[in-house]
Amino acid sequence: MKPAICRSTGVLLAVGVTFLLAAGSEVQAEVSRFVIPSVSTTRNDGTSYGLIVPNLVTDQDKELRYLVTPVFVLNTIVGAQGSLNMFRYDTGGREMRVIASYSEKIERKLMFSYIDPAFSNGRYALSIGASFYKNATMRFFGISQDTPESNETNYTAREGRAHWKFGVHLNEVTQIAVGERFRQVRVQRGATDLPFTAAVFSTVDGIQGATILGHRATFHYDTRDSLVAPTDGTQVSAYAELNQNLQNGDNPVYYRYALDVTKLLPSESKRLILVVRGNLQTTFGHQVPFYERSSLGGQNNLRGYGVDRFIDDNLVVLNIEERIHVMRTRIFNVAAEFEIAPFVDMGKVFNTFKKRQLQDYVMTPGIGFRAMVRPSVVGRVDYGYSSEGGAVFAGLDFPF
C-alpha cells in the first residue's frame, strides 16, 4: 500500500499545472514560485480544497535540482491538512525526497528516501528509505474476490517502515539485488462513519498488528529506452521474499513471490504505443496479516476500484493500454507531448491455483490523459469504470 504524497494530487488541474510549471522551470536558472488552487474528491478520501505552492530551483545549466512544495488543504474527513514536500534531483538519476504532513484529525506523515541507480560509477544501484504515517481512510472488505461492497469498513493504518536495497549491474540491462524491509503496523479506529474494521473482522489475521522483517532477492531485466517515459522495450522484475512476523510466535514465517512483465510495442512513428503488462503474486504461509497479502485495486493494477479493494493470498492481473500521441507543442520554450490512453485492466485474487479459482476475472475499462516533457516529467490522470462507481487516480508517473 502506497499512500499518496498529498490528497490534492488527485486533481486534474493540479497535475496539469504542476507539470507545466516543472516544464517551464527547465529554462530558468533561478527560483520560480507559483500558487495553484486545488480541489479534489475521491470515494475513500472525501473532498479537499486548498492551495499548492511549488518552488522550483534550477542550476546554471537550467536543470531542475530542487522542488519544495508547501501544501494546505481542507478535507471533509480529516479537516485542515498542511504538508511540505522536498525533492532533490542530481545527475545520474539520483533523487532524494523528504515529505512531512500533519492533519487536524489523526493523519500524520514523515518520509525520507534516497535512490542512486548508478552508484559507484554505475556498477551498483542503491536505495534506502524510512517513513512513519497514519492513514485514517483505509478500507477493508474481507478476504477473497467475492467480498460484497456492503462489507466496507474503515481503519487507520499506523505504520513505521524502513528499507534498503543494493543491486549489482551484471550488464547494461540486467541487475541482481538484495534488500531488507521493516514494517510495523497498528490497526486503529479510522476517521469515517463506516464500521471499525477491528470490530467487524476481529478474527482476521493482522488485526492485532504486526512487526515484519522481510528479506528479498530481486532480478531485474530492462531494455526500455527511458526509465521515466519509455516508448519501446521490455521490463521484467521477479523477486522472492522470506518474511518474519516478530509478533507471531506460532507461525512467524511466510513467503512471497512475484513476477512482473511489461512490453511496449510502438508503431513505426511511435505515435501509437501498445503497452501490455502482466503481474503474478503469490503468498505462502499461515496467519499472514491481511495487509501483507496480494491486493487488487488502485492506480497501478485495477484502476476501476479503490486501493486494496480485493485481498487474498494470490493475484494475477493483465493490463492492456494504448498510448495515443495527440499533439506536440512548445510550452515555456520546451517541447511538451500529450497523450490519451484507453485501457482495460483485468485481474483476480484467489487462495488456490485450482482451475475453478482461475475464472471470473474482474474487468475495468477506462481512459487516461498524459502530459510529458521527455525524458524527465510525466503527469497523468486515469479514470477506470467499475460496478462500484469507478475511480480516478492521478500521479507524476506512468502506472507501469
pLDDT (tens digit, 9 = 90+) per residue, 133-171?
999 999 999 999 999 999 999 999 999 999 999 999 999
Helix (H) or strand (E) holding 207: none
> For residue 3, what pLDDT is reported?
39
H helices present in 132-196, as ranges: none
Q: Closest by alpha carbon to 277, among 258, 261, 259?
A: 261
- Residue found by looking up cell 522470506 in the block: 242
- With beta carbons less than 8 A apart as the criterion, state whether 310 and 145 touch: yes
> For residue 357, what pLDDT is reported?
59
Q: Closest by alpha carbon to 275, among 260, 258, 288, 262?
A: 262
- With beta carbons less than 8 A apart as the criterion, state whether 197 and 152 touch: no
In this structure, what DSSP letter does residue 62 have? S
Q: Closest by alpha carbon to 149, among 390, 394, 395?
A: 390
Report, as ranges of residue numbers, the positions in the chain whose pLDDT lies below 50.
1-28
- Residue found by looking up cell 507461525 in the block: 251
- With beta carbons less than 8 A apart as the criterion, state whether 228 and 378 touch: yes
Q: Which domains does the chain have, with CATH numbers?
A: 41-48+61-67+76-395 (2.40.160.50)
> For residue 18, what pLDDT is reported?
47
Round to whole Å and give the CA distance between 197 and 209. 12
- Residue found by looking up cell 543491486 in the block: 167
Kindly list the distances between the CA atom of residue 195 and the CA atoms of 187, 199, 291, 346, in Å, as whole numbers in the listed order: 13, 7, 18, 29
> For residue 273, what pLDDT is reported?
97
Q: Closest by alpha carbon to 24, among 328, 327, 333?
A: 333
> For residue 42, what pLDDT is reported?
72
Q: Closest by alpha carbon to 173, among 91, 228, 117?
A: 117
